[in-house]
């Protein structure tokens, strides 16, 4: 015991021994143990070697939903959360740590949603390996919208304008403390998945993405069992909440039950389309501004499809097809572009 500085350090050592035995030999943690382990890693007592060892061990073992719930509790305990006074809030994040291959669809879709009167909270981080891509925050800044406001200012934005963006560097203090270590590991860890499952504003509705359809129920259940009334998990672009213009797996979770189905733009009279390139921040912002002005029909279709699914999720309409037409009219009438201009003003 003399080699360890505290009971917490000794407890973490025992947990690490149990999980660091490979995919078949590792033991699962309880929810409380997962919370305890990550809480220790957020502390000043944790050493970089311990952080790297735990992230690597969990990469091989994989996290069960109870463990994910524990990780989320630890993350939220070391975060500045907000509670905007709005009803029907939608929680989304898009490409959390950036993307290189395809244009960010979650951001323009969120602006369309806000134009429809649906309050939206977006949260995202900075670029991290292995993607090191264009982030939501960098696009917002390029569009002239402040992306790095303090949490209380974001809360006010949601209440007054129907849209707010929480940057991890401003609110997710524990996870941000591990960023220097994550930058040199060059692989995705359970922290990547945990970040997208956060609900930092206490939203009633949430849309979350997963890279593989086998993860959909785990992700949706984790959010649903932690207070989100209705969750839609999709096998989205690069594992995000963004629907590509082809068929994907989806799962809706509500009242303790999940329902699996597929979503495709062809179900609603829209053509399939290859991923729209995302060359850099400036071009991404230019194309997003263009779609909100109705100037790029291929991108308009991708955005109204994503918006239609979200509008139906938050009970703004009964059918996805009706939501698509609602979104189309918001862009055609200029209201989506007006919402962007409103966000730019403050």
Sheet holding 163-167, edge to edge: 163-167, 120-124, 90-92, 205-209, 230-234, 248-254, 257-263
Asked, colleague to colleague, whether 7-62 and 90-344 share their fold, the answer is no
Helix/strand/coil (H, E, C) string of the chain?
A: CCCCCCHHHHHHHHHHHHHCCHHHHCCCCCHHHHHHHHHHHHCCCCCHHHHHHHHHHHHHHCCCHHHHHHHHHHHHHCCCCCCCCCCCCEEECCCCCCECCCCCCHHHHHHHHHHCCCCEEEEECCCCCCCCCECHHHHHHHCCCCCCCCHHHHHHHHHHHCEEEEEHHHHCHHHHHCHHHHHHHCCCCHHHHHHHCCCCCCCCEEEEECCCHHHHHHHHHHHHCCCCCEEEEECCHHHCCCCCCCCEEEEEEECCEEEEEEECHHHHCCCCCCCCCCCCHHHHHHHHHHHHCCCCHHHHHHHHHHHHHHHHHCCCCCCHHHHHHHHHHHHHCCHHHHHHHHHHCC
The topology under which CATH files domain 7-62 is: 1.20.970
CATH number for the domain formed by residue range(s) 90-344: 3.40.1030.10
Under the banding of pLDDT at 50, 70 and 90, the label for residue 133 is: confident
Q: How confident is the model at residue 4 (pLDDT cuts 50, 70, 90)?
A: low
Q: What is the pLDDT of residues 286-324, one digit of tens each?
A: 999 999 999 988 899 999 999 999 999 999 999 999 999
Q: What is the pLDDT of residues 69-111, one digit of tens each?
A: 999 999 999 999 999 999 999 999 999 988 888 899 999 999 9
CA 225, chain centre distance (Å): 17
Average pLDDT over residues 142-159: 98
Q: For the chain, which residues make up each domain, given as ranges?
A: 7-62, 90-344
Phi and psi, residue 34, nearest 5°: -65, -45
Confidence of residue 3 (pLDDT cuts 50, 70, 90): low
Cα–Cα distance measured from residue 264 to residue 120, given in angstroms and rounded to the nearest whole number: 24
Nearest partner of 158 among 331, 343, 330, 345, judged by Cα: 343
Average confidence score pLDDT of the chain:
94
Instruction: Give me the mean pLDDT over the 11-26 stretch.
Output: 93
pLDDT at 100: 82
> Is 90 exceeded by the pLDDT of residue 346?
no
240-269 pLDDT per residue, tens: 999 999 999 999 999 999 999 999 999 999
């Amino acid at each position: 015991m003399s080699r360890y500085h505290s009971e917490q350090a000794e407890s973490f050592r025992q947990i690490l021994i149990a999980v660091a035995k490979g995919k078949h030999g590792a033991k699962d943690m309880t929810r409380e143990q997962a919370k305890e382990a990550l809480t220790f890693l957020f502390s000043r007592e944790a050493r970089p070697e311990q952080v790297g060892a735990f992230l690597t061990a969990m990469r091989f073992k994989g996290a069960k939903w109870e463990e994910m719930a524990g990780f989320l509790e630890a993350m939220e305990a070391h975060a500045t959360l907000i509670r905007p006074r709005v009803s029907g809030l939608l929680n989304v994040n898009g490409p959390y740590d950036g993307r290189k291959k395809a244009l960010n669809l979650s951001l323009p879709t969120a602006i369309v949603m806000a134009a429809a009167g649906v309050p939206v909270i977006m949260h995202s981080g900075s670029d991290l390996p292995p993607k090191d891509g264009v982030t939501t925050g960098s696009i917002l800044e390029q569009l002239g919208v402040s992306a790095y406001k303090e949490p209380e200012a974001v809360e006010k934005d949601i209440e007054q304008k129907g849209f707010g963006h929480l940057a991890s560097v401003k609110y997710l203090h524990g996870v941000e403390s591990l960023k220097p270590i994550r930058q040199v590991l060059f692989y995705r860890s359970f922290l990547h998945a945990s970040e997208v499952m956060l609900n930092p504003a206490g939203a009633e509705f949430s849309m979350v993405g997963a890279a593989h359809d086998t993860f959909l129920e785990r992700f949706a259940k984790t959010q649903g069992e932690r207070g989100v009334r209705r969750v839609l998990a999709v096998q989205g672009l690069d594992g995000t909440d963004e629907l590509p213009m082809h068929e994907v797996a989806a799962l809706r979770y509500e009242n303790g039950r999940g329902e699996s189905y597929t979503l495709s733009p062809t179900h609603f009279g829209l053509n399939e389309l290859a991923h729209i390139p995302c060359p850099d921040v400036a071009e991404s912002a230019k194309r997003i501004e263009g779609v909100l002005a109705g100037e790029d029909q291929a991108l308009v279709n991708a955005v109204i499809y994503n918006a239609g699914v979200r509008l139906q999720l938050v009970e703004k309409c009964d059918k996805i097809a009706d939501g698509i037409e609602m979104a189309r009219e918001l862009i055609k009438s200029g209201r989506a572009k007006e919402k962007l201009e409103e966000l730019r003003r403050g």
